[in-house]
């Protein structure tokens, strides 16, 4: 059999894909640490994840190719394809806007989070005696000044009209006002904490950091309230809850009524095996529903025994068999024994 | 449009969608097909954006562009730019080979990407198998005679364990097709395995019925409580 | 008459089932659920956790609309219990379509709790954090399990806030700080991923699982082996857990799982009736005829 360069290359790449995780499993952690692979494990794993994520566009392209061509050439049922693509585009745009909206909430609170992070960094660098950073006095002064500046900026806009941007749900105003009131109080406390910060006294800078965290927390809550009542969020919820969740649940719930028809039509007792199956099925159902008390108080215990003993033992046997088969399959796949036709290059 | 009106509209549309799907129970119709296609479109719209939002942006693009580094008030930075982040270009470029599937000439290159992904799954399967199966095997070795602290044999528990181990072995034996079963004992064990498996399948069927009906109950509850209330509000 | 029953239209069966489900819901009929020891185990696991010991509960909601009916009530009771016990929660999903539930479920529970206990506050960032959809499946789970700094690896919450700035993650470093892993799914392959990869050589977190009814038989083998420390079996598991919570917290608002479980019970009796009825009709009209006529 002629083995082309391409099929050998596919086999080699398939093998290389599994080498890292196989070695990572069989080699002791100490060996992985000594060669420095253990420290890189997270990056390597994310490299694989990023690689896999590149396939995400395949589904989209296929949908556009199949349904787009049906619309362009006005083939049978092209209207439904049009609806499908409209749904797709609407959901994608709405999800992007929801992402940006959520990001906007985080961005508003970010300046105070940076200050808090800075406070932690000052302490960490000072404890580590870093010399490549400005002196402690200058950094503490910078933290204090920046805190005052941010607070002054926020104070200039701290009223209901500027902070609460939604206007259609007035019953939420009291909640927003409570947040604003809390924020005002915390700002005063933060200002005081900034004044109290002393060079080299890390307990005072930790108190300031805690205060700054509270400020950013309240800004986030106020902005979240605004965002939750924005048109962007309502559109997203409309598509997600109103259409996606409802349609998805309804689609799958159809199986509930089909199974009733199947119970009437197909569940026939024709042999000893089917009798066993039916008795077990009925006992499991009766033992789990609240009406068991009208039949026998012992039904839940019988069900429990059925699940714990014969079911668990039989299912475990099946599971062990399936897992061994899966392992063999994985091994064959890794070494390209299974997928000969896959790695073989088709010509013409 | 007020917030309450939005909520009502969402519930009303949810109810209409549910009824549209249920209309399929009578027979297939355009109303059902419209919502069926809408559902597929909406469901397909999530994944690409969420992958970008949850993985590629924070993990790759943001650090690559240096956007995760902030400047502190004293002019220092929260971190350094690590050029090693650019190494992500390799998996990204390699991953782009998936799209060669649309080319007749370069279609074989997509097999490299698919093969690599299959290989990685294969490599991970070893760890997964042992982590999952060793405790399973361990707990299968149950003591056939259970003795309490006072030295007395617990008859019921012992019988239960014997039955458990017998069931496990009998069902496994039933699946041994690699050799021919000879003898009466082998046949009896295999047949017992078959019967015990039927008990397991019965439990499985009972559970399946529960799962399917639970979905129906949830939808009916939505229609009777939430949707009915939203409709009443509109009519009132 | 016998002929009519043997030729029973499938739509009549559909109508029967829908009515059987609708009537208990319309009348809000509720009956105490059956006791489930597996749910009690889950309950005891959370009861035994001490909030002062620190750490978080990692809650993975891996369900979409297709199994929402069973997994959502399960997730609600467990998250409610964790919040009542003031155990910080990190919510995430490996299933893109579940992201909406990560926001709605804890917010709803926190609002109910704040109504029940006026003056007490359950707030985002301190009591729970939403990590959103995390792609990568088993690669992600095994990487998280080996992570030396979880906050650095996970980077941001779903809103883009750095996890280092959220108090839930203040003292969380490695898998050892995950005191409970709770996972709710009906999907094949997601639960196995946690069983196989969310552990290190010397640490396996306590694991509670909420499964759909279909996967109950499989889940029992993990309960038996000790790989699971608690299990919620479909709606029935959620209903019994809810009953346990109501017994402990008298002011608790009743949730819908009791009514759903009762309606489900009525639906089951209907199905059992159809199985028996189908067999009787099959016996009366001949095997082949009985099964063919109804399938039309």
Question: pTM score, two decimals?
Answer: 0.89
Inter-chain touch B56–A53, beta carbons under 8 Å? yes
Size of interface B-C (CB pairs under 8 A): 137
Tens-place pLDDT, residues C68-112: 989 999 999 999 999 999 999 999 999 988 988 999 999 999 999
Q: Phi/psi class of residue C24: alpha, beta or left (left: φ > 0; alpha: ψ in -120 to 50)?
A: alpha
Inter-chain touch C21–B217, beta carbons under 8 Å? yes
Residues of C in contact with A289 (CB under 8 A): 34, 236, 261, 264-265, 268-269
Inter-chain touch A169–B133, beta carbons under 8 Å? no
Selection from A111, A23, C296, A342 nearest residue B71 by Cα: A111
Q: How far is A305 from chain C (nearest CA, A)?
A: 11
Give the mean model confidence (pLDDT) for residues B197-208: 90
Q: Phi/psi class of residue B217: alpha, beta or left (left: φ > 0; alpha: ψ in -120 to 50)?
A: alpha
Residues of B in contact with C224 (CB under 8 A): 139
Percentage of residues in chain B having pLDDT higher than 90:
69
**Contact A269/C at CB under 8 A:** yes
Which residue from A270, A278, A292 is facing C275, i.e. has the nearest CB? A278
pLDDT for C289 equals: 44
Which residue of A22, A44, A261, A304 to mutate against C (max C Cβ within 10 Å)? A261
With H, G, I as helix, E, B as strand and everything else as coil, classify residue A153: helix
Kindly give, in sequence order, each residue whose CB lies less than 8 Å from that of residue C73, ignoring residues fewer than 6 positions away: C235, C238, C239, C242, C255, C256, C257, C260
Is CATH 2.40.70 the classification given to domain C37-255? Answer: no
pLDDT for C295 equals: 39
**Contact A117/B at CB under 8 A:** yes
Residue A32 CA to chain centroid, in angstroms? Answer: 30
| Between C91 and A220, the higher pLDDT residue | C91
Tokens read off for A304: 């429990």
Inter-chain touch B70–A117, beta carbons under 8 Å? yes
**Mean pLDDT, rounded, of chain C:** 89
Terminal alpha carbon distance of chain A: 17
Residues of A in contact with B230 (CB under 8 A): none
Selection from A139, C142, C67 nearest residue B208 by Cα: C67
Which residue from B51, B167, B168 is facing A56, i.e. has the nearest CB? B51
DSSP state letter for C33:
P
d(CA C132, CA C103): 9
Domain spans of chain C? 2-26+262-294, 37-255
Tens-place pLDDT, residues A119-170: 999 999 999 888 888 999 999 999 999 999 999 988 887 766 666 666 665 6
Nearest CA in chain C to A115: C165
Which residue from B48, B78, B167 is facing A60, i.e. has the nearest CB? B48
d(CA C103, CA C101): 5
Tokens read off for B125: 């399967």
Which residue from C13, C201, C271 is facing A29, i.e. has the nearest CB? C201
Selection from C131, C138, C147 nearest residue C57 by Cα: C131
Tens-place pLDDT, residues A231-252: 899 999 999 999 999 999 999 9
Give the mean model confidence (pLDDT) for residues C17-31: 91
Kindly give, in sequence order, each residue whose CB lies less than 8 Å from that of residue B150, ignoring residues fewer than 6 positions away: none
3-state secondary structure chain B: CCHHHHHHHHHHHHHHHHHHHHHHHCCCCHHHHHHHHHHHHHHHHHHHHHHHHHHHHHHHHHHHCCCCCCECCCCCECCCCCHHHHHHHHHHHHHHHHHHHHCCCCHHHHHHHHHHHHHHHHHHHHHHHHHHHHHHHHHHCCCCCCECCCCCECHHHHHHHHHHHHHHHHHHHHCCCCCCCCCHHHHHHHHHHHHHHHHHHHHHHHHHHHHHHHHHHHHHHHHHHHHHHHHHHHHC
pLDDT-based confidence at residue C292 (cuts at 50, 70, 90): very low
Nearest CA in chain C to A91: C97
Residues of A in contact with B73 (CB under 8 A): 115, 118, 142-143, 145-146
Selection from C75, C32, C87 nearest residue C244 by Cα: C32
pLDDT-based confidence at residue A224 (cuts at 50, 70, 90): confident
Inter-chain touch A259–B213, beta carbons under 8 Å? yes
Residues C248, C251, C255, C257: is their CA dihedral positive or negative? positive
d(CA C129, CA C126): 8
Q: How far is B105 from chain C (nearest CA, A)?
A: 31
Q: How far is B152 from chain A (nearest CA, A)?
A: 23
Q: What pairing do the DSSP bridges indicate for beta strands C89-93 and C56-62?
A: parallel
Predicted confidence (pLDDT) at residue A342 exceeds the cutoff of 70:
no
Q: Where are the alpha helices (DSSP H) in C48-98?
A: 68-84
Percentage of residues in chain C having pLDDT higher than 90:
59
Residues A273, A276, A279, A280: is their CA dihedral positive or negative? negative
Tokens read off for A108: 């508003």
pLDDT for C1 equals: 66
d(CA B17, CA B39): 9
Selection from A326, A325, A307 nearest residue A315 by Cα: A307
With H, G, I as helix, E, B as strand and everything else as coil, classify residue A140: helix
Domains of chain A (ranges, CATH numbers): 5-92 (no CATH), 106-229 (1.20.120), 269-342 (no CATH)
Residue C175's alpha-carbon distances to A126, A220, B216, in angstroms, are: 30, 28, 38
Give the mean model confidence (pLDDT) for residues A267-277: 87
Tens-place pLDDT, residues B136-191: 999 998 989 988 888 888 899 999 999 999 999 999 988 877 677 778 888 888 89
Tens-place pLDDT, residues C184-225: 998 888 999 999 999 988 899 999 999 999 999 999 999 999
Predicted confidence (pLDDT) at residue A3 exceeds the cutoff of 60:
no
Predicted confidence (pLDDT) at residue C19 exceeds the cutoff of 50:
yes
Weakest-pLDDT range from A324-333, B105-114, B144-153, C41-50: B144-153
Angle at A283 between CA A279 and CA A288, to 5 degrees: 155
pLDDT for A344 equals: 62
Tokens read off for A117: 């992070």
Tens-place pLDDT, residues C104-155: 999 999 999 999 999 898 988 889 999 999 998 899 999 999 999 999 999 8
Q: Which of residues 201-220 of A touch B (CB under 8 A)?
A: none
d(CA A38, CA C147): 10
Task: Identify each DSSP E strand in A290-345 by its residue range.
Answer: none
| Torsion on CA atoms B102, B106, B111, B116, rounded to nearest 10 | -110
Predicted confidence (pLDDT) at residue A323 exceeds the cutoff of 70:
yes
Size of interface A-C (CB pairs under 8 A): 192
d(CA A252, CA B18): 11
Which helix (DSSP H) or strand (DSSP E) does residue C90 occupy? strand C89-93
Residue A57's alpha-carbon distances to A52, A80, A257, C107, C188, in angstroms, are: 11, 22, 36, 33, 23
Residues of A in contact with B46 (CB under 8 A): 91, 95
Strand partners, C207: C181
Weakest-pLDDT range from A23-27, A71-75, B208-212: B208-212
pLDDT-based confidence at residue C290 (cuts at 50, 70, 90): very low
DSSP state letter for A307:
I
pLDDT-based confidence at residue C286 (cuts at 50, 70, 90): low
Domain spans of chain B? 1-81, 96-141, 142-236
Residues C169, A49, C184, B126: is their CA dihedral positive or negative? negative
pLDDT for C293 equals: 44
Q: How far is C279 from chain A (nearest CA, A)?
A: 6
| A194-212 b/e (C-beta count within 10 Å ≥ 16 → b) | beebebeebebbebbbebb
Residue A182's alpha-carbon distances to A70, A160, A216, A341, B178, in angstroms, are: 58, 13, 12, 68, 74
d(CA C173, CA A320): 35
Inter-chain touch C267–B43, beta carbons under 8 Å? no
**Contact A26/C at CB under 8 A:** no
Inter-chain touch C224–A253, beta carbons under 8 Å? no
């Amino acid at each position: 059999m002629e083995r082309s360069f391409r099929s050998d290359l596919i086999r080699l790449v398939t093998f290389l894909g599994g080498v890292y995780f196989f070695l990572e499993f069989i080699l002791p952690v100490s060996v992985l640490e000594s060669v420095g692979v253990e420290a890189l494990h997270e990056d390597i794993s994310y490299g694989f994840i990023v690689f896999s994520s590149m396939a995400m566009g395949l589904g989209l392209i296929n949908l556009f190719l199949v349904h787009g061509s049906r619309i362009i050439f006005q083939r049978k049922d092209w209207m439904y394809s049009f609806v499908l693509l409209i749904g797709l585009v609407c959901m994608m745009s709405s999800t992007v806007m929801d992402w940006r909206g959520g990001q906007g909430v985080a961005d508003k609170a970010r300046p105070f989070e940076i200050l808090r992070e800075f406070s932690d960094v000052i302490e960490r660098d000072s404890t580590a005696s870093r010399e490549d950073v400005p002196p402690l006095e200058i950094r503490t002064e910078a933290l204090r000044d920046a805190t005052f500046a941010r607070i002054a900026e926020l104070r200039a806009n701290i009223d209901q009209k500027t902070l609460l941007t939604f206007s259609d749900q007035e019953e939420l105003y009291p909640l927003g006002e409570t947040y604003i009131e809390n924020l005002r109080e915390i700002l005063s406390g933060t200002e005081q904490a900034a004044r109290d910060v002393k060079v080299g006294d890390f307990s005072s800078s930790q108190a300031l950091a805690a205060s700054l965290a509270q400020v950013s927390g309240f800004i986030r809550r106020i902005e979240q309230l605004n965002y939750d009542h924005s048109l962007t969020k309502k559109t997203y919820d409309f598509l997600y809850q109103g259409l996606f969740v409802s349609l998805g649940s309804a689609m799958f719930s159809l199986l509930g009524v089909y199974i009733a028809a199947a119970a009437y039509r197909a569940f026939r007792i024709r042999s000893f095996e089917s009798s066993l199956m039916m008795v077990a099925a009925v006992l499991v159902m009766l033992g789990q529903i609240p009406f068991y008390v009208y039949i026998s108080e012992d039904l839940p215990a019988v069900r429990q025994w059925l699940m714990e003993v014969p079911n668990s033992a039989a299912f475990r046997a099946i599971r062990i068999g399936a897992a061994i088969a899966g392992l063999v399959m994985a091994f064959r796949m890794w070494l390209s024994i299974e997928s000969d036709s896959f790695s073989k290059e088709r010509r013409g | 449009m007020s917030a309450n009106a939005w909520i009502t509209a969402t519930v009303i549309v949810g109810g209409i969608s549910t009824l549209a799907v249920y209309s399929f129970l009578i027979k297939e119709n355009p109303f059902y097909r419209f919502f069926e296609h809408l559902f597929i479109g909406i469901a397909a719209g999530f994944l690409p954006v969420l992958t970008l939002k949850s993985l590629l942006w924070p993990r790759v693009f943001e650090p690559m562009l240096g956007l995760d580094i902030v400047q502190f008030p004293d002019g220092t930075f929260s971190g350094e730019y690590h050029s090693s982040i650019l190494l992500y270009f390799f998996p990204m470029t390699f991953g782009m080979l998936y799209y060669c599937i649309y080319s007749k000439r370069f279609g074989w290159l997509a097999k490299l990407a698919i093969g690599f992904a299959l290989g990685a799954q294969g490599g991970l399967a070893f760890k997964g198998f042992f982590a999952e199966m060793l405790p399973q095997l361990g707990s299968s070795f149950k003591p056939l005679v259970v003795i309490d602290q006072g030295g007395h044999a617990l008859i019921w528990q012992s019988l239960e364990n014997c039955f458990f181990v017998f069931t496990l072995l009998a069902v496994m034996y039933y699946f041994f097709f690699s050799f021919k079963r000879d003898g009466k004992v082998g046949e009896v064990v295999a047949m017992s395995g078959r019967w015990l498996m039927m008990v397991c399948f019965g439990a499985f069927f009972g559970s399946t019925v529960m799962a399917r009906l639970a979905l129906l109950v949830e939808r009916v509850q939505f229609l009777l409580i939430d949707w009915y209330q939203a409709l009443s509000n509109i009519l009132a | 008459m016998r002929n009519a029953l043997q030729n029973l239209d499938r739509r009549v069966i559909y109508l029967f089932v829908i009515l059987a489900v609708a009537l208990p819901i319309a009348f809000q009929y509720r009956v105490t659920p059956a006791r489930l020891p597996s749910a009690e185990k889950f309950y005891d696991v959370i009861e035994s956790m001490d909030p002062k010991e620190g750490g978080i509960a990692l809650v993975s909601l891996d369900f979409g609309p297709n199994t929402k009916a069973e997994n959502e009530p399960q997730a609600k009771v467990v998250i409610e219990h964790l919040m009542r016990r003031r155990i910080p929660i990190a919510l995430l999903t490996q299933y893109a379509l579940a992201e909406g539930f990560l926001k709605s479920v804890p917010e709803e529970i926190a609002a109910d709790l704040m109504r029940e206990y006026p003056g007490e506050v359950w707030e985002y960032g301190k009591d729970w954090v939403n990590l959103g959809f995390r792609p990568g499946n088993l690669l992600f789970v095994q990487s998280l399990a080996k992570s030396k700094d979880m906050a650095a690896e996970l980077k941001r919450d779903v809103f883009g806030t750095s996890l280092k700035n959220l108090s839930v993650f203040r003292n969380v470093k490695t898998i050892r700080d995950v005191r409970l892993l709770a996972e709710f799914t009906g999907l094949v392959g997601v639960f196995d991923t946690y069983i196989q990869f969310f552990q290190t050589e010397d640490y396996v977190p306590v694991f509670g699982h909420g499964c759909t009814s279909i996967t109950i038989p499989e889940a029992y083998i993990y309960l038996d082996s000790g790989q699971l420390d608690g299990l919620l079996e479909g709606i029935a598991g959620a209903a019994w857990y809810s009953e346990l919570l109501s017994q402990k917290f008298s002011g608790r608002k009743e949730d819908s799982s009791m009514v759903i479980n009762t309606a489900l019970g009525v639906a089951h009796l209907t199905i059992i009736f159809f199985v028996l009825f189908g067999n009787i009709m099959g016996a009366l009209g001949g095997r082949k005829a009985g099964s063919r006529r109804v399938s039309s």
